[in-house]
Amino acid sequence: MPQATDFHGSDYGSSRTSRDLERLVQLLINGDRVGARDLVREYLDARGSHDATDALRDLAWPACGTIDALARRDQISTATEQTATVLLAQLVQRIECGLTKHPARCREVMIATGPRATEQLAGEILAGIAEADGFDVHFIGAGIESDELFATISARRPTYFVSFAAAGPDAPRLRRLITMVRTQDPVPGLRFGVGGGVFNRAVGLGDEIGADFEAPCPFSMLETLQGLEAFPSARKAQPQRRPKAA
């Protein structure tokens, strides 16, 4: 079975947690809803040192990456990938209900993803932890063209736009969007972030399309957003890049 590092680039602690992860992936692939729910419940209830954030970071996120890797290597069928991803998405939503809620930041993050089910699930994990951290989250998902994204940004006026776990064909769309925003400036100070998906596989692509910041996984992306909020003067002082024409 491919290692979870294929998706996020880090390991996840104890050998016990690794065994739990392997079990969870197998249960997801088998479509064992009861078994998967029980495993997550045991992980949260049987050990006081683990909370909802741990379950997302150490189980759900690497499980998402492993399923993605198996599918990309044609080691599981499309039907199996869909079954596993739908079940995992249900688990993620349950886990997110247990996240500790922080005071509102009054800052909106708009999140887009690639079209694959695992990419959208990765975006959902980012949306969940960012919302719990106090950000207002508008999770727009996948498949929206540049003109519509521009219109939505102009109407909602977010502080950050993050494309997380995007697919390869999304890069030109994002470049066009960033060019439009930089040129017409409907939301002064809007910062663009990218990560996961094609941006993890193609080093330097984020910088090439003009993104302001980049992170490989939802948790480091949230840390980056927290850092930008902790130093608002630095965020405002960042130079706006002029991306190359598409």
Inter-residue contact 67 to 84 (CB < 8 Å): yes
233 band by pLDDT with thresholds 50, 70 and 90? low
DSSP letters, 81-124, are HHHHHHHHHHHHHHHHTTSPP------EEEEE--SSHHHHHHHH
If you average pLDDT over residues 217-245, what whole number do you get? 72
User: In the numeric block, which tokens belong to residue 30?
Assistant: 């088998």
50 band by pLDDT with thresholds 50, 70 and 90? confident
If you average pLDDT over residues 179-204, what whole number do you get? 95
What distance in Å separates the CA atoms of residue 206 and residue 200, rounded to the nearest whole number? 9
What distance in Å separates the CA atoms of residue 214 and residue 221, rounded to the nearest whole number? 7
Q: Which residue has the higher pLDDT, 38 or 11?
A: 38
Task: Return the axis-axis angle of helices 170-184 and 146-156, rounded to nearest 10°.
Answer: 40
Q: Please name each of the domains of the chain with its CATH number.
A: 5-96 (1.10.1240.10), 108-237 (3.40.50.280)
User: In the numeric block, which tokens belong to residue 74?
Assistant: 């044609």
**How does pLDDT run across 146-175, given as a tens digit for each residue?**
999 999 999 999 999 999 999 999 999 999
Query: Would you give the DSSP letter of residue 74?
Result: T
Q: Collapsing DSSP states into helix, strand and coil, what is residue 213?
A: strand
